[in-house]
Amino acid sequence: MSRFEFSGRQDSEVGGFEFKTVKTLAIALVVSMACAAIATAQAATPQTLVYCSEGSPRTFNPQMGSDGPTFNASARTIYNRLLDFKKGGTELQASLAESWTVSKDKKQVTFKLRRGVKFHETSFFKPTREFNADDVIFTFHRMMKKDHPYHTVNGGVYEYFTSMEMDKLVVSLDKVDSHTVKFVLSRPETPFLANLAMDFASILSAEYGEKLLASKTPEKMDLEPVGTGPFKFVRYEKDSQIRYERHEAYFEGANPVAKLVFAITVDPNVRSQKLKRGECQLIAEPSVLDLESLRKTPSVKVVEREGLNIGYLAVNVEKKPFGDRRVREALALAVNRQSYLDAIYQGQAVLAKNPIPPTMWSYHQGTRELTQDVAAAKKLLADAGFPQGFETTLWYMPVSRPYNPNAKKMAEMMQADLAAIGIKAKLVSYEWGTYLDKARKGEHDLLLIGWTGDNGDPDNFLGTLLSCAAVKGGANFARWCNKDFDKLVVEARQTPDQKRRTELYLKAQEIVVRERPWVPIAHAKAFRAMDARLKGYVQSPFGIDSLYGVELLAK
């Protein structure tokens, strides 16, 4: 879309000039025709982009979220962070911070903040100043300090900040001057910078917070959001749509499209139909069953990339008889994972063997492959004292996720595989929130679950999902605590040299493969479908959608 803005009135005025010579008349005619062409193109360029999202946001404050719909609707539209990831990749780049320095002991990180960044002016808030250090302090102190006036507002649950133990890592956050802040850490933490580029670290407006406190409506902070990002929040119609307008004063430049609409559409088939009818220009998480039809539609384009994810079966080692490694190995040998890929992923995934995806640095190519071997599985069960097998429960997710599109069908197939070695598995499921709550408490025996990476660092998988601390935090669904593994992960987290970190993570993966707290199933490909005229969209490795810079070309 051209940045020039010509109105019909301006065009008529150009055509109405009185020129004295043929030469000047010819020039005027060319200018008039060019202006008219630009004006026509401008008028024909769609000014509203409709994104069909797969669900409603839980909040408009990404500090308190942990799901894609929340991050897409808030962090990717309304807010910025000190750092960000380069579009389509995992490389860090400056955002609200212009630069940063790390002390020799790796325990102090100082950020120089960008000047001239403007907050949104909305119908409910008019800022009187630009972004500065006070906003960074306000944002992180809200999560860090229990006596902060906003700490308990709207529940006060900061999942990422707490689960990554950043409340123990960050000793203090100090304001050096109006455009400089310093984080003081309790220990070196190599993933720290990447963590600050994650959605939960989005920067809020301290001035807006003060205004809401004064009006005794602090809850609006997370419901009527104000940020520095490319889009301004207009209104939210619950479970229906979210409307935004572009932030004209955005520090990276105003977005090409003036208006953005999130059309909340839970059913993936309905999302596909809306795209075909032109009711939305981009859809989240198209069903693998719809991909062939979408690809055959001339007006539609489908893009894909290897997913930074894993779907797996968590084996609760706190429940008998799964504390025995031989039983866990028998489970892994009993299941026909390739049949799951064929029937459920429609071939749009690769078999997993490690707890991190093959697209991530430090992935261990040399760990042994896992293949079905029913005879070997039966022998292992007999050696463990279960020649006739045993009874257990197998939990499956009630929702479709990128790493597992149909958990119920997978559970049914897995149930049959386990029966072949004498394990009778009763299938169990709950509403999604209840499912997660019960699983975090360790109530399950066998659990189908998965994970999509947030920052491109192996610690985001290994440390977050399999460490001893993660058992207490609830993210380690296997309830598996191995001291040798933990020592490697902790050392890797505190080591700045990536070569050394890789060596440590390779050893850590070998322990996981040997001990089998998980049965790794698949790394699924990630898909997006869009109007063929859409320009500027880049697929993220994190399964989120940034719509800044995206536009729809005229027909």
- Same structural domain, 207 and 339: no
**203 shares a domain with 103:** yes
The answer to the question of residue 65 being in a domain is no
Host domain of residue 155: 79-227
**Of the candidates 181, 200, 227, which is a domain's last residue?**
227
- Helices 498-515, 459-466: crossing angle, 10 deg rounding: 40
pTM to 2 decimal places: 0.80
- Are 380 and 235 contained in the same domain? no
Q: Whats the size of the chain, residue-wise?
A: 555
Per the listing, tokens 């191995």 go with 482
Question: Would you state the pLDDT for residue 46?
Answer: 64
From residue 347, alpha-carbon distances to 251, 351, 554 in Å are 43, 10, 35
> Residue 163: how many CB atoms within 10 A of its CB?
17
DSSP one-letter code for 405: S
- Indicate whether 514 and 388 sit together in one domain: yes
CB-based contacts of 156: which residues, under 8 Å, 6+ apart?
none
Q: Last residue of a domain, which of 227, 252, 271?
A: 227
Locate tokens 């322990």: which residue?
511
> In terms of domains, do 142 and 287 share one?
no
Chain mean position to CA 515: 29
CATH of the domain at 99: 3.90.76.10
User: Is residue 68 domain-resident?
Assistant: no
**Same domain? 452 vs 466:** yes
337 shares a domain with 291: no
Q: Quick check: is 240 in a domain? A: yes
Task: Give the side-chain half-sphere CA count within 13 A for 445.
Answer: 17
Total structural domains within the chain? 4
CATH of the domain at 394: 3.10.105.10
Instruction: Answer yes or no: is 67 within a domain.
Output: no
Residue 8 has a CB neighbour count (10 Å cut-off) of: 11
pLDDT at position 263: 97
Q: Which two tokens stand for residue 415?
A: 């149930």
pLDDT of residue 433: 67
Helical residues (DSSP H) of 302-363, grouped into ranges: 325-334, 337-343
Same domain, 446 and 501: yes
CA atoms of 153 and 75, how far apart (whole Å): 19
Q: In this structure, are 432 and 555 located in the same domain?
A: no
Has residue 16 been placed in a domain? Answer: yes
Q: Which of 207, 227, 247 is the last residue of a domain?
A: 227
- Is 352 inside any structural domain? yes
393, two tokens: 């429960």
* 289 in any annotated domain: yes
Same domain, 83 and 124: yes
Question: What is the residue-level pLDDT of the chain in tens, covering all 555 positions?
Answer: 332 222 233 333 333 333 333 444 343 444 444 444 433 333 334 689 999 998 888 899 999 887 788 899 999 999 999 999 999 988 999 999 999 999 999 999 999 999 999 999 999 999 999 999 999 999 999 999 999 999 999 988 887 887 778 888 999 999 999 999 999 999 999 999 999 999 999 999 999 999 999 999 999 999 999 999 999 999 999 989 999 999 999 999 999 999 999 999 988 899 999 999 999 999 998 988 899 999 999 999 999 988 899 999 999 999 999 999 999 999 999 999 999 999 999 889 999 999 999 989 999 999 999 999 999 999 999 999 999 999 999 999 887 778 988 899 999 999 999 999 999 999 999 987 688 879 989 999 999 999 999 898 999 999 989 998 888 777 899 999 999 999 999 899 889 899 999 999 999 999 999 999 999 999 999 899 999 999 999 999 898 999 999 999 987
Q: How many of the other CB atoms lie within 10 Å of CB of 441?
A: 10
Assess whether the previous peptide bond of 405 is cis (omega < 30° from 0): no
- Considering the domain architecture, whether residues 17 and 129 belong to the same structural domain is answered as no
Among the listed residues 330, 295, 255, 319, the one whose alpha carbon sits nearest the alpha carbon of residue 51: 255
Asked, for residue 72, whether it belongs to a domain, the answer is no
- Residues 479/321, Cβ–Cβ less than 8 Å: no
Same domain, 199 and 249: no
